[in-house]
Structure 1
Amino acid sequence: MRNKKIIVNKLGGVIMGSAKLLALAKVEIVRQMSKHCQPIVVVSALQGVTDDLVAILNKLDRLVNSGIVDSSKTQFIINKFIECLRKKHSALVEQLIVAKENNELVKHRIIQILKKLRQDLETVTVRGALPELQDRVLSFGEKLASIIFSIYLTDNKINVESLTSEEIGIITNENHLDAEIDYTLAKSNIIQKLKKCTGIPVITGFTGITISKKTTTLGRGGSDATACFIGAALSAKKIILWKDVPGVLSADPNIFPNAKTLKSINYMEAEKSGKVIFDKAVQYLKISKVPTEVTYIRDAKIKTQIDEQTKTELGAMQSKSKIPVAILGATGMVGQRLISLLANHPLFEVAVVAASVNSAGKTYREAVLNKWTISSTIPDKVKDIIVMEVNRDKEKIARVAKIAFSALDMDKNLIKRLEIEYASLGVAVISNNSAHRWTKDIPMIIPEVNSSHTKLIDIQRRQRKWKTGLIAVKPNCSIQSYVPVLEALKKFMPTRVIITTLQAISGAGKTFKSWPEMHDNIIPFIGGEEEKSEQEPMKIWGKIVKDKLRLATLPKISATCIRVSISNGHMAAVSVKFKKNPTKQDIINSIINFKNPIRKFNLPSAPKNFIEYIEKNDRPQPKLDRDNQKGMGITVGRIREDSILDWKFIVLSHNTLRGAAGGAVLMAELLVHEGYII
């Protein structure tokens, strides 16, 4: 291979799953060859296959963790999954490969690969989904795709060598599921391996291998990273990231339909560009300076060039394409958590931080000096923003921000007034505060439970004559572990519930440093918490009737709320009486099969598995389980019969993520999806 003529082509999952788009890719490969260039192809798995592999891993892992592994059941699940994969890939083969000999060859190779996948899935049923096993399983999507495209090119009289990332020696560290390539070792390996190739290398993206020969995966955007690394290592003439989107757009087309393709962007802007190219890939472009294009597979003339020097409007594009938000009460614990969560959010960008007069005029970094409680550092984009004053500067804030996340800690009547004033100025207020939870036309929402209550916003706007402004609130953090589980069990008609919550100190806005008295201590009272825990679910489960919300009357809830010596995570011990008494398996099945009504929306902060059941008697535990699904999942365990009511169980949620900041961001995403925020 002569390096100056090498062109690295990366084909994404949408392309790999479409016979029509693969035919266009083949045409481009032939065109490059006609110009005496040496193409290299890096492939992703077919669209949806990696997600399917993740899903089967999670399913089998849950069965293992339940402690009840039925070999016939797991074999049925594995058989069904393998057959679905075979059919999906074979269907593509039928559309692509004409010659009978090649058609049969690729189908035979698919079966061989699936046999190895089956063996790894069977190992999961014994050992659980260990990270090392997960990487092995996840690598099969690219292996299947590579074989299909390789033999498709062979079918078209093109000389090909099908190679895996492991075979060409892309060495990584041992950080399974998000590995980093060892640039020096891997570069040396692929130079030696690929210079011997006589045909076009078709290489699996997304994967690598450790020094100890263990398969790894590179995380989000892993195939882009593979392609950019290979292009950098070989000093290629060009890297082309083929996509089924028209390059990098000037704005998010879901928000701005008139977004246009940018002709060029620089590396820093590429890192900000979102899902089109991921920052892990860009790091290799910075090293090599190889000319790189994000090119539209349906029309190769439509592309975005990525290079070192280009200055474009992408910086301005980010503020336009992402919805600008303000954080009110930005210096408190929930405000800090919001800042952290929104640092790289695909829809929202922090444009304003606001707090009390004590912090106003300082940079955000100065305002939270010695008060920053989040484990990650203050995001660079926010640390030098000047803090505004929430009351005095509200008109300035409203001119900049479309959304205000309210994490205010002040007099409730003042909060009520401020939130109404912001909404009157056209701002969508998403409140973590309790001030408006019982205002009749303001919805209190757990998105997975009562997303239909967004209809109250129409009533709210009509009655208050607001056009773009709105107020929507989150319920108390204490209820967000048990209300979703009771929702999953509602077909059994819960009538009475006794709850004891064990609530972390962060729920009081404290850390052990600021509240040393909580070390080795429990406080059996939290002011107002028991009333909230008993009453707020009735609004969550209410029904909108004739422009009014009619509160639910059942189940009756009795709550005891206790502050415990835990940093994060609210746990609840729940006992329930049902009108239709279920079996234990009925309860487990209802939890596992809970139909999350917003999952189909693919909201960025929504957990894939909203409620997770763990069979082990010593789970859930805050330290082990509060970060489930990035802190947005609910964990259930210890389901057993109750000697006074019917059944009892333990539930756990992360109080500052699911219960506060994360839940607020998810609600805002839902309101964008529903068209209430544009």
Structure 2
Amino acid sequence: MDSYQVGVLGATGAVGQKFIRLLENHPWFTIKALGASKRSAGKKYKQAVHWIEKTELPSASANLKVKACAPEEFKGVDFVFSGLDSSVAGDIEKNFAEAGIPVISNAKNYRMHDQVPLLVPEVNPDHAELIKKQSFDPEGNGWIVTNPNCVSVPLSMSLKPLHDAFGIDSLIVTSMQSVSGAGYPGVSSMDIVANVVPYIGGEEPKVQTEATKVLGTLSDDTIAFNDFKIQATAVRVPTIEGHLLSASVKLKNAPSSIEEAEEAFTNWKNPIANLELLSSPKNPVRLYKEDRYPQPRLHADREGGMQTAVGRLREGTVMDLGYVTMAHNTIRGAAGGAILNAELLTAKGFIS
């Protein structure tokens, strides 16, 4: 595989820092440029960032001069990762795409755009074909791809085996979301220590729509959303990393036994396994049969933080099935998911 020069937008934020850590030794992608706000532009990255990652700040990035998030500042990069806040991401990402620089984004701004893939490689790799329908850049060099919200990723991953085997009719999901999902400095300690906050602004509408696009069907120039309904509740809990979801699912064709439901997970085949992408976990969806699993502290970091865990799979009393699922929110649900998207798009020739 060739080596590619990449930029990171929003490099000083929590997601931007995760990009920098995960890309430190990536054999395909080398960080060439870092972008942040005007107050950080012109400084060395080590002077501009309040580093919150568990590992040391990579020396190669530490001494890069931070640039303004403008296409003319990123000449020579093959594409950019965006960890920008949604309050500024819309115009900036559009400017890069129109300038012929591909954008692989973690922001929400273009997730519902008709021609922008909302990509989870193990679930809907064919949706990448939408790139060819985008009109940001008349020459087709600049485009935007997004990854879903940090709850919608494990939800989509856990629904995929059930959808393939039985079809999804509807579901009720409650997400118990760690404090790292609020960015840095995050939630006030007076709000979250020894407490649960039963509302996260703007979260529930994303959970209720994004999985229906991810599990939708590619048509000529857009995605036909799946027609199942989702009722979502989002709460903040005092864990650090890893969002845990409790789901109750009504299926179109209910399994005859819980063993048949288990087989849907254990027999499910990863559609991108043959590509051997570096960030793709060997076992993307793991079914745990221990009653106490999965747990954020024990399982969020499995397979580099890229695995989706499923457990407590059981017959329902109102719906057909109940289960819990979990994934690392800032890796699988954010920067790591975007890097996997880039690997998929590279392997498929969208990045050249």
TM-score above 0.5: yes
Alpha carbons 1:505, 1:511 under 8 Å: kept: no
In 1, Cα distance between equivalents of 2:309 and 2:97: 35
What is the match of residue 328 of structure 1? 9
What is the match of residue 162 of structure 2? 489
In 2, Cα distance between equivalents of 1:546 and 1:364: 43
CA offsets 1:299-339 (integer angstroms, 9 cap, x no match): xxxxxxxxxxxxxxxxxxxxxxx211111000000000000
What is the match of residue 631 of structure 1? 305
What is the match of residue 72 of structure 2? 395
Q: Secondary structure at the match of 1:404?
A: strand
What is the match of residue 533 of structure 1? 207
Out of 364, 368, 376, the residue aligned to residue 45 of structure 2 is 364
Tell which has more relative contact order, 1 or 2 (C-alpha 8 A, sep 6+).
Answer: 2
How many angstroms does 1:396 deviate by?
Answer: 2.3
- Is it true that 1:672 corresponds to 2:351 in the alignment? no
How many angstroms does 1:643 deviate by?
Answer: 1.2
How many angstroms does 1:464 deviate by?
Answer: 4.5
CA offsets 1:590-634 (integer angstroms, 9 cap, x no match): 112211111110001110000111111111000000011110001
Q: How many residues align?
A: 349
How many angstroms does 1:466 deviate by?
Answer: 3.4
In 1, Cα distance between equivalents of 2:85 and 2:225: 28
In 2, Cα distance between equivalents of 1:327 and 1:651: 30
CA offsets 1:179-219 (integer angstroms, 9 cap, x no match): xxxxxxxxxxxxxxxxxxxxxxxxxxxxxxxxxxxxxxxxx
Structure 2 regions of 5+ residues with no counterpart? none
In 2, Cα distance between equivalents of 1:538 and 1:642: 22
Alpha carbons 1:423, 1:466 under 8 Å: kept: no
Q: Which amino acid aligns with 1:485?
A: S
Alpha carbons 2:99, 2:137 under 8 Å: kept: no
Q: Secondary structure at the match of 1:434?
A: coil
In 1, Cα distance between equivalents of 2:65 and 2:189: 32
Alpha carbons 2:118, 2:146 under 8 Å: kept: yes
CA offsets 1:328-362 (integer angstroms, 9 cap, x no match): 00000000000000000010001111100111111
Out of 31, 43, 60, the residue aligned to residue 381 of structure 1 is 60
What is the match of residue 407 of structure 1? 83
Answer 1 or 2: which has greater helix percent. Answer: 1
Give the direction of change, closer, same or farther, for the CA distance of 1:466–1:439 in structure 2 (3 Å limit): farther
Q: Which amino acid aligns with 2:40?
A: S
In 1, Cα distance between equivalents of 2:220 and 2:34: 39
Alpha carbons 1:511, 1:567 under 8 Å: kept: no
- Alignment RMSD: 1.4
What is the match of residue 515 of structure 1? 188
- Is it true that 1:581 corresponds to 2:233 in the alignment? no
CA offsets 1:569-590 (integer angstroms, 9 cap, x no match): 0000011111211121112111
Out of 121, 143, 146, the residue aligned to residue 473 of structure 1 is 146
Alpha carbons 1:346, 1:604 under 8 Å: kept: no
In 2, Cα distance between equivalents of 1:466 and 1:416: 21
What is the match of residue 33 of structure 2? 352
How many angstroms does 1:424 deviate by?
Answer: 1.6
CA offsets 1:399-421 (integer angstroms, 9 cap, x no match): 1211111111252xx42221111
Question: Under a length normalisation based on structure 1, what TM-score does the superposition of the two structures give?
Answer: 0.50
In 1, Cα distance between equivalents of 2:302 and 2:260: 23
In 2, Cα distance between equivalents of 1:405 and 1:466: 21
What is the match of residue 621 of structure 1? 295
Q: Which amino acid aligns with 1:546?
A: D
1:23-172 matches, cutoff 5 A = none
Q: Secondary structure at the match of 2:324?
A: strand
Q: Which amino acid aligns with 2:277?
A: L
Which structure has the greater CA radius of gyration? 1
Alpha carbons 2:99, 2:142 under 8 Å: kept: yes
How many angstroms does 1:515 deviate by?
Answer: 3.4
- Is it true that 1:571 corresponds to 2:248 in the alignment? no
Out of 23, 31, 36, the residue aligned to residue 342 of structure 1 is 23
Alpha carbons 2:100, 2:137 under 8 Å: kept: no
In 2, Cα distance between equivalents of 1:471 and 1:338: 17
Q: Which amino acid aligns with 2:69?
A: V
Question: Identity of aligned pairs, percent?
Answer: 37
In 2, Cα distance between equivalents of 1:588 and 1:510: 38
Alpha carbons 2:103, 2:142 under 8 Å: kept: yes
What is the match of residue 650 of structure 1? 324
CA offsets 1:643-670 (integer angstroms, 9 cap, x no match): 1111101101000000000000000000
Structure 1 regions of 5+ residues with no counterpart? 1-253, 256-321
Alpha carbons 2:10, 2:84 under 8 Å: kept: yes
Alpha carbons 1:402, 1:426 under 8 Å: kept: no
In 1, Cα distance between equivalents of 2:91 and 2:185: 30
In 2, Cα distance between equivalents of 1:373 and 1:520: 23
Q: Secondary structure at the match of 1:617?
A: coil
Q: Which amino acid aligns with 1:653?
A: A
Alpha carbons 2:13, 2:184 under 8 Å: kept: no
Question: Under a length normalisation based on structure 2, what TM-score does the superposition of the two structures give?
Answer: 0.96
- Is it true that 1:503 corresponds to 2:177 in the alignment? yes
What is the match of residue 548 of structure 1? 222
